[in-house]
Amino acid sequence: MPVAFQPSLFDEDRTALGDLADLRRTTLGDGAWVDVLPGWLHGADELFARLVREVPWRSESREMYDRIVDVPRLVHTYGVGAELPDPVLTEARDALTAHYADELGEPFVTAGCCYYRDGQDSVAWHGDNLGRGRTRDTMVAIVSFGSPRKLLLRPRGGSVAVTHALGHGDLLVMGGSCQRTWEHAVPKTSRPVGPRVSVQFRPLNVF
């Protein structure tokens, strides 16, 4: 029996963003860092249901570690200029662009979406380093919807150093050299877990 996402009992019905001034930074080492803000997006139950229903999901094969591997999850990318499925996502992207303007020096322009249908969907260890992230510092900002899943981080090829349980509405931003000196993964879990959608905002030419 698939496990359903349990909508929050007290979710406000209006979807709204919290204050990015509340982000907390953890320095990882080698010039990498993560910023985390639990519950950044409030009132997102209906939005989560709509993303599951309306994003044109497709299954993914992706270049990783110099080979093509199947990644067991569904994906869709909103490229530069594409209209996002909800105005609050546009607001979120623009708020992130404004907050990180000095540090990043360019806007977030794409929104990659991933749908983890259950605990068997996952993404293996990787850095988003197919484009510019291979050689330059950059940022990837992840907003999580639905059931909580663990996002793990480790120094490239090393052992797990940081674990974040990303829940409904949570924001996690990987920055600095994170995509080339560290790796991240969303591992499978045998624990019964409901569906999760993540939206990753990236600057141009970061994959």
List contacts with ligand AKG (CB under 6 A): 112, 114, 123, 128, 142, 151, 184, 186, 198, 200
Specify the length of the chain in residues: 207
**Candidate segments 48-56, 102-110, 121-129, 187-195, binder of Fe ion by CB under 5 A:** 121-129
Residue 97, phi then psi, degrees to nearest 5: -60, -45
Which does residue 52 bind out of ligand AKG, Fe ion, none, counting CB within 5 to 8 angstroms by kind?
Answer: none
Structure tokens at 62: 């992706």
Minimum separation from the CB atom of position 183 to Fe ion (A):
9
Spatial separation of the C-alpha atoms in residues 7 and 71, rounded to whole Å: 27
Minimum separation from the CB atom of position 7 to Fe ion (A):
27
Spatial separation of the C-alpha atoms in residues 4 and 85, rounded to whole Å: 22
Q: Closer to ligand AKG at the Cβ: 88 or 114?
A: 114
3-state secondary structure 149-175: EEEEEEECCCCCCEEEEECCCCEEEEE
Choice from 35, 45, 121, 128 touching Fe ion (CB under 5 A)? 128
Minimum separation from the CB atom of position 152 to Fe ion (A):
11
Spatial separation of the C-alpha atoms in residues 112 and 110, rounded to whole Å: 6
Minimum separation from the CB atom of position 54 to ligand AKG (A):
19
Which does residue 198 bind out of Fe ion, ligand AKG, none, counting CB within 5 to 8 angstroms by kind?
Answer: ligand AKG
Minimum separation from the CB atom of position 13 to ligand AKG (A):
26
- CB under 8 Å to 199, separation ≥6 — which residues? 51, 89, 92, 111, 112, 113, 142, 143, 145
Closest CB to ligand AKG: residue number: 198
Q: Closer to Fe ion at the Cβ: 50 or 76?
A: 76
Residues that bind Fe ion (CB under 5 A): 128
